[in-house]
């Protein structure tokens, strides 16, 4: 199981502190090895919640269609307390949880990708 949070390397770096090239390379290696692989994207409002964002990730994963499972995870605020307890800055503090209907629309994009 691994997370691919953004197709755009710069945006991935901004939000996670690292680029996505190694993650994408490792996804390819694992998919080609026959490993049981699940790739997840936590969908965060204002970060990667547009149809274009999800379509771009699907394009990255398209060479491995049939070799992995791809799923979207809805953003929630359950972990916010950890930032406070560790004295860390939470750049997403004012971000509202993802609306279920918004996640369902994005899941339709993923379903189209997995069905062709």
Class of domain 2-115: alpha beta
pTM of the model: 0.87
Q: Is 74 left (phi over 0), alpha (psi -120 to 50) or beta?
A: beta
- Nearest 10 degrees: CA dihedral of 46, 48, 50, 52? 140
Residue 58 confidence (pLDDT): 95
Would you write out the chain's pLDDT as a tens digit for each of its 116 residues? 999 999 999 999 999 999 999 999 999 999 999 999 999 999 999 999 999 999 999 999 999 988 999 999 998 888 888 888 998 888 888 888 888 999 999 999 999 887 64
């Amino acid at each position: 199981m691994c997370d691919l949070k953004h197709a755009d390397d710069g945006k991935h770096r901004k939000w996670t502190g690292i680029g996505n090239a190694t993650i994408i390379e490792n996804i390819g290696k694992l998919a080609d090895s026959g490993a049981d692989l699940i790739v997840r994207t936590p969908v965060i409002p204002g970060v990667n919640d547009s149809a274009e964002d999800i379509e771009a990730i699907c394009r990255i994963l398209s060479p491995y269609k049939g070799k992995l499972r791809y799923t979207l995870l809805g953003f929630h605020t359950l972990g916010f307390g950890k930032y406070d307890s560790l004295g860390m800055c939470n750049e997403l503090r004012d971000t509202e949880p993802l609306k279920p209907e918004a996640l369902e629309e994005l899941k339709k994009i993923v379903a189209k990708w997995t069905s062709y």
